[in-house]
């Protein structure tokens, strides 16, 4: 079985070989981003499953792909930095 991150790398290389400039729109999410998206989807499905109940016990937001930032609830997109830490991977061409 291939991980989503490995698939993402293969897809990125294929797009780069085609000399396309915008690869982000063709790539699947990272495993980290997919995890937090799945947590939000799971929470929503749990709510829908109990839609006909008189009293719905809503799942926690904090452990469902959301986080508190400066006392404000925000979507948790990922826990990894947006750029690779290896500086050689951040430049192109030279």
Per-residue pLDDT tens over the stretch 42-69 = 999 999 999 999 998 998 999 899 999 9
**Contact status, residue 75 vs residue 66, Cβ threshold 8 Å:** yes
Radius of gyration of the chain (CA): 18
**Residue 7 three-state SS:** helix
- Residue 21, phi then psi, degrees to nearest 5: -90, -30
Q: What is the spatial distance between Cα 22 and Cα 50, in angstroms, rounded to a whole number?
A: 42
pTM: predicted TM-score of the whole model, two decimal places:
0.74
Mean of the per-residue pLDDT values of the chain:
86
Percent of residues, the chain, with pLDDT higher than 70: 86
> Which tens digits make up the pLDDT trace of 13-29?
888 888 887 888 888 88
φ, ψ of residue 34 to 5 degrees: the values are -65, -40
């Amino acid at each position: 079985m291939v991980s989503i991150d490995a698939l993402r790398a293969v897809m990125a290389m294929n797009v780069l070989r085609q000399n396309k400039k915008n690869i982000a729109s063709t790539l699947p999410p990272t495993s980290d981003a997919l995890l937090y998206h799945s947590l939000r989807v799971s929470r929503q499905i749990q709510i829908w499953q109990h839609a006909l109940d008189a009293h719905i016990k809503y799942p926690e937001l904090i452990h469902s792909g959301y986080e508190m930032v400066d006392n404000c609830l925000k979507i948790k997109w990922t826990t990894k930095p947006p750029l690779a830490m290896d500086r050689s991977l951040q430049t192109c061409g030279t």
